[in-house]
Amino acid sequence: MSITIAFDADDTLWHNETLFAVTSEQIGTLLAPYADAENLHRRLIDTERRNLKLFGYGVKGFTLSMIESAIEVSEGRVSAREIQEILEAGKKLLAHPIELLPQVRESLESLSKHHNLMMITKGDLFHQESRIAMSGLGELFSAVEIVSEKNPETYRKILHRYHIDAEDFVMVGNSVKSDILPVLEVGGRTIHIPYEITWELEVAELGSPDPARCRRCHSISQVAEEVARFYPSV
């Protein structure tokens, strides 16, 4: 039996959401004359939710939504200088170096000796390709899929494309909404590794899943052990 283990990228292999949180706080300070932090945050979340179908996921959509939110909360009074600062903050996010989470490389190198590894991540194609290159992890994966959304249909298409049986597929990620629930729906297995921050638009309830199909751990170093529990005869 050949087992395929797929990994999410952002907040599973490297830090991501903490960078957005820091940037949001900085922009909140910039726009404090127009709105308090909580009001601005709620406006941004609502704007991002509304714009997802237009801009997709990632830094570029976040930056555009932040500019739109700034215009709205300031009732059009936001200055060109302040908009420029928001743009510069977005550019810094795009250029930020990759910081791998602990034990990522060692764990992937070990797993790759015994299993087929994939990366399945969503977001802006150009930026995600750049981050994968910067991470130095690309060579450890037999395939990399950058998708616009992670839903059951996306996973079904990937499994079909690579001739993978759902019973032999394990998805590892931090997002219950994107990495866990849709994979369970298509018949795969999952390992949830929570990250310290969850973007509000990724929040979902996991409930009490079957431990034979869904496990939770605190570090990527535990993935091999959890996979062995799924497939004790492999």
pLDDT digits (tens, 9 = 90+) for 7-34: 999 999 999 999 999 999 999 999 999 9
Position 233 scores a pLDDT of 80
* pLDDT exceeds 90 at position 208: no
Q: Which amino acid is at 86?
A: I
- Provide the residue ranges of all domains of the chain, joining segments of one domain with +: 4-14+99-230, 17-95
Q: Which CA distances in Å does 136 have to 98, 108, 205?
A: 9, 12, 33
**Average pLDDT, integer, range 60-67:** 97
What confidence category does residue 109 fall into, taking pLDDT thresholds of 50, 70 and 90? very high
- Higher-confidence residue of 156 and 232: namely 156
Q: Give the SS3 label for residue 186.
A: coil
- Mean pLDDT over each residue of the chain, to the nearest integer: 96
Distance CA 31, CA 36 (A): 8
Q: Give the SS3 label for residue 27.
A: helix
**Average pLDDT, integer, range 91-107:** 97
What is the chain's length?
234
**Average pLDDT, integer, range 66-72:** 97
* pLDDT exceeds 80 at position 234: no
For residue 137, what are the contacts with CB-CB under 8 A and spacing of at least 6? Answer: 13, 100, 104, 105, 108, 119
User: Domain 17-95 maps to which CATH number in 3.90.79.10, 1.10.150.240, 2.60.40.10, 1.20.58.2240?
Assistant: 1.10.150.240
Selection from 158, 189, 209, 143 nearest residue 3 by Cα: 189
Distance CA 148, CA 188 (A): 20
Find how far residue 46's CA is from the centre of its chain: 19
Q: What is the pLDDT of residues 34-57, one digit of tens each?
A: 999 999 999 999 999 999 999 999
Position 14 scores a pLDDT of 98
Give percent of the chain above pLDDT 70. Answer: 100
pTM: 0.94
Per CATH, the number for 4-14+99-230 is 3.40.50.1000
CA 76, 78, 80, 85 torsion: positive or negative?
negative
